[in-house]
Amino acid sequence: MTYKTQKITPVLVVPSIEPSLELWEKRLGFARVAEVPHEDALGFVILVKDGVELMFQTEASVKADLTTTGDIVGKSTSLFMEVDDLTEVERALGGYPIEMARRTTFYGMHEIGVREPGGHWVTFAQKAE
C-alpha cells in the first residue's frame, strides 16, 4: 500500500445523542467541537479530549444519509480507551454504573468497563506498574 492513514475515528450510532453528552462531556471532560442538527435534535457531534476524537450520529441521521437500502444502524461498537490514571476516571464517573469491576488482565492492564447511554461498551484501561 502506498497511502498513509492519517487517523481513525469511531462514529457511535445511537438512538439520540443528548443522553450520551452527560457521560462524555460532563463526567469525562470531552469538548464538543462540532454539531449538526437533524430534525428537532442533534444529529451528529464531534467530541475531543487530549487529541482523541469521538463522533456520535443518530440512527435517524444515518438513515437519512444512506443512498442504498443497506442499513448500518444496530451494529455494535466497543471502545478500548487507554488512560494515564484509571482512579481519576473512576472518580469522574462518580456513581455512573460500572458493569465490569476493576480488574488486572493477563496482558498487563488495570481495567473497568461501562456501557454508554447509546448502548456501546467502553473499557477504560491503564498500564499496570
Asked if the structure places residue 6 within a domain, the reply is: no
Asked if the structure places residue 23 within a domain, the reply is: yes
Q: Give percent of the chain with pLDDT exceeding 90.
A: 71
Q: Supply the CATH number for residue 41's domain.
A: 3.10.180.10
Structural domains of the chain, count:
1
Residue 14 neighbours by CB distance under 10 Å: 21
* Cα–Cα nearest to 13, from 70, 68, 54: 54
Supply the pLDDT for residue 4: 78
Contacts of residue 88, defined as CB under 8 A and 6 or more positions apart, other chains included, come to none
Asked if the structure places residue 86 within a domain, the reply is: yes
Average pLDDT of the chain to the nearest whole number: 89
Q: Which residues pair with 122 in a beta bridge?
A: 79, 114
Domain that holds residue 80: 11-127
**What three-state secondary structure class fits 115?**
strand
Q: In this predicted model, what pLDDT tens digit does every residue of 82-128 receive, in sequence order?
A: 999 999 999 999 999 999 999 999 989 999 999 999 888 899 999 99
Asked if the structure places residue 117 within a domain, the reply is: yes
Q: Which residues pair with 3 in a beta bridge?
A: none
Asked if the structure places residue 21 within a domain, the reply is: yes
Asked if the structure places residue 4 within a domain, the reply is: no
Asked if the structure places residue 2 within a domain, the reply is: no
Nearest-angstrom CA–CA distance, 76 and 92: 25
